Amino acid sequence: MAVIEVRDLRRTYRSRTGIRRTSVKDVEAVRGINFAVEKGELFGLLGPNGAGKTTTIKILITLLLPTSGTALVLGHDVVRETRAVRRRVGYVFGGDRGLYERLSARDNLRYFSELYGVPAREQSRRIGALIEQVGLAGRERELVEGYSRGMRQRLHIARGLLHDPDVLFLDEPTIGIDPVGARELRSTISQLIEAGKTVLLTTHYMFEADELCDRIAVIASGRIVAEGSPKELKSRVSDGHVLEVEVYGLDDRSVAAVRGVDGIRSVSVEARDQAQILAVRAASGAEVTQAVLRCLDGATVGRVATREPTLEDAYVELVGEGRS
């Protein structure tokens, strides 16, 4: 039996604007998604902002009701058996909010221990072990209001593990953390999997998903557009190559012209310092370099290179298809 089972899950938000002339707009955040996560698996949900990742997690941790469809966590329905689900799942989100600023780290953990029903005789040992584990030992009696973003995120992780949950939902846990902290956090996530936990992770960072996830579902505009292991997803674009061009003064007209070149599957632009990096994913065997450079007439071209596709390229292509 799958630990997480999602069937035809949909969630629509209704938003109202205006005071006198109210207009109502329905936004479909999740549009009939299906996936299953097995015990001990680290499953990644990848997608751009507003794709429906957080909505899906909130439904699975019982904070949101689905508009239709079903979701089971450890065999419990997330709508009807909320307490059974809440007892066995942990939830950690990224960012520096979600903590009691005027309490110490220890008291934050103590409060949630009470809410999760961790027995008094176990609380002290457990909190001490988690504080040690997340590297806050020595700082645990300081008020959280003085904590750095990384320290807060580590405290979030400790809070999510307090009741030793079977399933952990991590919603962009490394966002805003420095590279060293993020690497340590990834190491902790790997340890959780080794300890037999099931983890559902959302992230924007492709290398993170590539490094950690057993399987990934790419979600765009509320739909799952691809699902598979990082290797399988990469193989979808591995028959082609990526042309990367460093450009100064790239305009929208040039990008549109590049998109029109034969043999090009997708195009993305990333700002890097003063330059823009134009990444052109081309089909296998397509010679597009000269045609692309001709489209950049008027802009200053720097370094030009070709490389093998990465998971990020697969993601960009899949998300692009999902949106169109």
The contact set with another protein (CB under 8 A) reads 13-14, 55, 58, 61-65, 83, 86-87, 91, 97-103, 107-108, 110-112, 114-120, 122, 126, 129-130, 132-135, 154, 159, 161, 163-164, 181, 184-185, 187-188, 191-192, 195
Extract the tokens encoding 131: 């504080």
Q: What is the DSSP string of 227-239?
A: EE-HHHHHHTTTT
Q: Alpha carbon of 189 to those of 89, 130, 303: distances in Å?
A: 15, 14, 37
Which residue type occupies 146?
G
Alpha-carbon distance of 312 to 324, in angstroms, equals 18
Asked if 246 contacts 280 with a C-beta cutoff of 8 angstroms, the reply is no
Closest CA to 93 of 155, 15, 181: 155
Alpha-carbon distance of 22 to 33, in angstroms, equals 31
Q: Please state the closest distance from residue 3 (CB atom) to another protein, in A.
A: 15
Q: Please state the closest distance from residue 313 (CB atom) to another protein, in A.
A: 31
Nearer to another protein, 55 or 268 (CB): 55
Q: Please state the closest distance from residue 50 (CB atom) to another protein, in A.
A: 14
Nearer to another protein, 14 or 20 (CB): 14
Q: Please state the closest distance from residue 243 (CB atom) to another protein, in A.
A: 39
Nearer to another protein, 112 or 205 (CB): 112
Nearer to another protein, 74 or 258 (CB): 74
φ/ψ region of 265 (left if φ > 0, alpha if ψ in -120 to 50, else beta) reads alpha
**Phi and psi dihedrals of 2, rounded to 5?**
-70, 145
Nearer to another protein, 188 or 238 (CB): 188
Burial label for 180, CB within 10 Å (0-12, 13-18, 19+), is: exposed
Largest interatomic CA distance in the chain: 72
Q: Please state the closest distance from residue 322 (CB atom) to another protein, in A.
A: 23
Extract the tokens encoding 299: 């802009």
Q: Please state the closest distance from residue 174 (CB atom) to another protein, in A.
A: 11
Nearer to another protein, 194 or 273 (CB): 194
Nearer to another protein, 116 or 205 (CB): 116
Alpha-carbon distance of 69 to 82, in angstroms, equals 16
In this structure, are strands 223-228 and 23-37 parallel, antiparallel, or unpaired? Answer: unpaired
Q: Please state the closest distance from residue 191 (CB atom) to another protein, in A.
A: 6
